[in-house]
Amino acid sequence: MAGIDGNEYPIPTREQVTRLFIRNKELVNEKVPQGFIHLALTPMATPVSFLIERMGAAILKHAAEDSTKK
């Protein structure tokens, strides 16, 4: 992933994430019963304007889908 500084930043591999979960097993075992069952990788190096645009599109899509159900 390219950062706003022009540098490339790697997305962690599945193996790297698995190792982190294994190393933090105690925390994972505490959080799963609390409902934390999905991992979200947030692209922090992405420009805020891009994230705002994507979120706006997702909100509008959700609203349009919701209005067709009524």
Q: What is the pLDDT of residue 60?
A: 95
CA 55 – CA 42 distance, rounded (Å) = 13
> Residues 35-56: pLDDT tens digits?
999 888 777 767 788 889 999 9
| Segments forming the whole domain that contains residue 18 | 14-68
pTM of the predicted model as reported, rounded to 2 decimal places: 0.48
Q: What is the pLDDT of residue 70?
A: 61
Which two three-digit tokens encode residue 66?
């919701």
| 41: in domain | yes
| 3: in domain | no
| 20: in domain | yes
| 64: in domain | yes
| 40: in domain | yes
Assign residue 45 a region: left if phi > 0, alpha if psi is -120 to 50, beta otherwise? alpha
Q: What is the pLDDT of residue 59?
A: 95
DSSP state of 9: -
Mean pLDDT of the chain: 87
Number of domain units in the chain: 1
